[in-house]
Amino acid sequence: MTSLLQPDEVVASGVYFGKGGRSKKRGSPQRQGSDLVPLKMHCRACALVTSSGQLLRSRQGAQIDQTECVIRMNDAPTRGYGRDVGNRTSLRVIAHSSIQRILRNRHDLLNVSQGTVFIFWGPSSYMRRDGKGQVYNNLQLLSRVLPRLKAFMITRHKMLQFDELFKRETGKDRKISNTWLSTGWFTMTIALELCDRINVYGMVPPDFCRDPNHLSVPYHYYEPFGPDECTMYLSHERGRKGSHHRFITEKRVFKNWAQTFNIHFFQPDWKPESLAISHPENKPVF
């Protein structure tokens, strides 16, 4: 496990909404939705499954499901796509902007039978606990309907550390540069905290879209008629008015991290040392 953030607090620390458990300090039951508790999770190997159309027709599902922990993002489904993206989910990282889609598809995505952990992130205004925070309020309601739901929120203090990490790695202030960090940024950083090895599925190298012969795929594998992946990446990267995700900038950072940390990329298969696409028979080693 590698921490890129300040060591005073684990990255997935937040408000826990699940029932049960006893406070080690007080010896009394935890109050649902009121105690700040850390997520205690460790995986020797993780499959970080992106939502990219690169995964379509990949048949990577069995390989993904063999991994100890499987990490997914937002409302990316498995039903109907298991052959390509797998069926298991150990951890799902969810942006505030995706919570309504999660609620609409809660029977599929909030499957407590797998013991999935859910981490929600968003601006502090969405996370506030005074009755005015949209995400917090929705999670409170969910916890009553699904008392076994393991849901965490990232604290405001830790959110600021994600901003500082972006500035440290890119030299750019997130707010001044009109940047919204993507769910992929949060997910990769959380994975580095929790996983000894990370196998990333569906993430292209940072210069992929500059190749005029690049493969054209949908931005999301579950939205086949949605926007083209590279079109989305380039429009956000070049956008100056309003706030944008800097997908390509983030991928440059991930490439740099992979030169130091135990991160490996599949579908397409590439290595950060050479950025050369390798042969598809090269599979992750567990």
pTM above 0.95, yes or no: no
Count of Cβ atoms closer than 10 Å to residue 76 Cβ: 22
Task: Report helix angle 156-170 to 247-258, nearest 10.
Answer: 80
Domain boundaries, the chain: 14-266
pLDDT of amino acid 8: 42
Cβ(179)–Cβ(26) below 8 Å: no
Cβ(51)–Cβ(176) below 8 Å: no
pLDDT of amino acid 6: 44
Q: Which CATH superfamily is domain 14-266 in?
A: Glycosyl transferase family 29 (3.90.1480.20)
Exposed / middle / buried, residue 113 (Cβ in 10 Å: 0-12, 13-18, 19+): exposed
3-class secondary-structure state, position 47: strand
Each residue's pLDDT tens digit in the chain (286 positions)?
A: 555 544 444 444 445 556 543 333 333 223 344 456 778 899 999 999 999 999 999 999 999 999 999 999 999 999 999 999 999 999 999 999 898 898 888 888 887 778 899 999 988 888 888 788 888 888 888 888 888 888 888 888 888 999 999 999 999 888 888 778 899 999 999 999 999 999 999 999 999 999 999 999 999 999 999 999 999 998 877 766 656 778 889 999 999 999 999 999 999 999 987 444 443 444 443 3
pLDDT in tens, 112-146: 778 899 999 988 888 888 788 888 888 888 888 88
CA distance 244 to 235: 9
